């Protein structure tokens, strides 16, 4: 069964996921991607093949890529002209298209209006939908997709890179943030929340890693360390030397970094809009706070930082256990089931 994948802003973790599918299925799949926004090394080495790079905003054809239209095409979203054109061509040739959709359920006015729009203009284009997790499944059902045509596991970090470290009781009293320094990520607000309770956390520090325009405006504090972007292999060790991972985003379709942190055994401090919280944030390992609320964020920091002894060790193990539902093998299993279903 000829199968191809597309991925907007193709990241390294996606290369690992697709490579796992190719190993499991024995299929040699073309991979079509647009360039990621941050430099990521070793993409084609991980895939074991060259990527067909394109501009997602410009329509493309299989002939222009030097490829035959596949029988099953995993299409990255519905908003990119290049991938839409490739999907249209697959359907015209009698093939099947699976939508890669990372939107999460919010239940807001836009999604309420989006349901009839999707059912009228989009649903007929896709034979299956591949989503990251529970929140994405709920949204796809709301859009009218039968539950039997929805698969989870579209996103996931690699447990060979991100894995559990020492028990949380043996780790430094460190909070880690990983993400872009942009307003949506609420990085400045996280620093402000930490500073507001720093006197109650005298042995703790906040370490931040990422890139973006707000890096230079993080409020200065002797126990807030601001760093630039780091590669995944370096990042894994940083998670394993932290107790708490914090992601206070105003919106986050899923949040791969949450899975990375959970695999690494961190406690999770998440805003209520994070899609991945439905998969990994449990009562024993996390605190979910009101989005954009500094006081609620600071209270969450204090709550997680107060855990000690057996409860703290249990929190780390809870994160690791929850994280096992996602990753390269889960992706490969779901993708294989999709191909098998669509080939009938």
Residues 150 and 217 in one domain: no
Q: Indicate whether 189 and 297 sit together in one domain.
A: yes
For 182, phi then psi, to 5°, come to -135, 165
- The answer as to whether 163 is a domain residue is no
CB 33 within 8 A of CB 223: no
Q: Is residue 312 part of a domain?
A: yes
pLDDT at site 39: 63
162 within some domain = no
Dihedral pair phi/psi, residue 111, rounded to 5°: -75, -30
Residue 161 lies in a domain: no
Do residues 12 and 149 both lie within one domain? yes
Residues 6+ apart with CB under 8 A from 25: 3, 332, 335, 336, 339
Domain that holds residue 298: 168-323
DSSP state of 173: S
Q: For residue range 123-140, list pLDDT tens digits in order.
A: 899 999 999 999 999 999
- Nearest-angstrom CA–CA distance, 318 and 285: 6
In-domain check, residue 56: yes
Q: What is the pTM of this model?
A: 0.94
Chain segment 312-342, per-residue pLDDT in tens: 999 999 999 999 999 999 999 999 999 999 9
Residue-level pLDDT, tens digit, the chain, 344 residues: 899 999 999 998 999 999 999 999 999 999 999 988 776 677 889 999 999 999 999 999 999 999 999 999 999 999 999 999 999 999 999 999 999 999 999 888 888 888 898 898 888 999 999 999 999 999 999 999 999 999 999 999 999 999 999 999 999 999 999 999 999 999 999 999 999 999 999 999 999 999 999 999 999 999 999 999 998 889 999 999 999 999 999 999 999 999 999 999 999 999 999 999 999 999 999 999 999 999 999 999 999 999 999 999 999 999 999 999 999 999 999 999 999 999 98
Distance CA 189, CA 31 (A): 38
Query: Which pLDDT does position 50 carry in this prediction?
Result: 93
Dihedral angle computed from the Cα positions of residues 80, 86, 89 and 93, in that order, rounded to the nearest 10 degrees = -140
Task: Provide the number of structural domains found in the chain.
Answer: 2
pLDDT score at 40: 66
Q: What angle do CA 209, 215, 218 make, to 5 degrees?
A: 100
């Amino acid at each position: 069964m000829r199968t191809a994948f597309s991925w907007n802003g193709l990241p390294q973790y996606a290369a690992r996921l697709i490579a796992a599918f190719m190993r499991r299925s024995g299929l040699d799949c073309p991979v079509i991607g647009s360039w990621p926004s941050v430099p990521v090394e070793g993409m084609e080495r991980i895939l074991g093949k060259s990527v067909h790079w394109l501009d997602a905003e410009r329509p493309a054809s299989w002939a222009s890529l030097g490829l035959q239209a596949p029988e099953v095409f995993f299409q990255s979203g519905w908003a990119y002209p290049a991938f839409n054109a490739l999907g249209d061509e697959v359907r015209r040739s009698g093939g099947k298209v699976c939508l890669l959709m990372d939107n999460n359920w919010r239940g807001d006015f836009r999604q309420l209006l989006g349901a009839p729009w999707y059912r009228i203009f989009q649903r007929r284009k896709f034979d299956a939908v591949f989503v990251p997790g529970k929140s994405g499944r709920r949204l796809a059902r709301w859009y009218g997709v039968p539950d039997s045509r929805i698969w989870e596991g579209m996103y996931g970090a690699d447990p060979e890179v991100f894995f559990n470290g020492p028990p949380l009781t043996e780790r430094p009293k460190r909070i880690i943030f990983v993400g872009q320094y942009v307003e949506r990520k609420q990085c400045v607000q996280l620093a402000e929340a930490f500073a507001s309770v720093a006197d109650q956390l005298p042995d703790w520090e906040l370490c931040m890693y990422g890139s973006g325009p707000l890096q230079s405006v993080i409020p200065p504090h002797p126990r807030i360390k601001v760093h630039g972007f780091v590669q995944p292999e370096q990042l894994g060790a940083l998670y394993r030397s932290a107790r708490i991972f914090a992601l206070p985003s105003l919106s986050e379709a899923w949040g791969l970094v949450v899975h990375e942190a959970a695999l690494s055994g961190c406690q999770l401090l998440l805003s209520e809009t994070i899609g991945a919280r439905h998969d990994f944030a449990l009562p024993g390992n996390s605190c979910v706070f009101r989005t954009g609320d500094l006081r609620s964020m600071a209270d969450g920091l204090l709550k997680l930082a107060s855990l000690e002894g057996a409860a703290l060790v249990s929190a780390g193990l809870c994160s690791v256990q929850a994280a096992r539902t996602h990753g390269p093998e889960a992706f490969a299993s779901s993708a294989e089931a999709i191909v098998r279903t669509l080939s009938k």
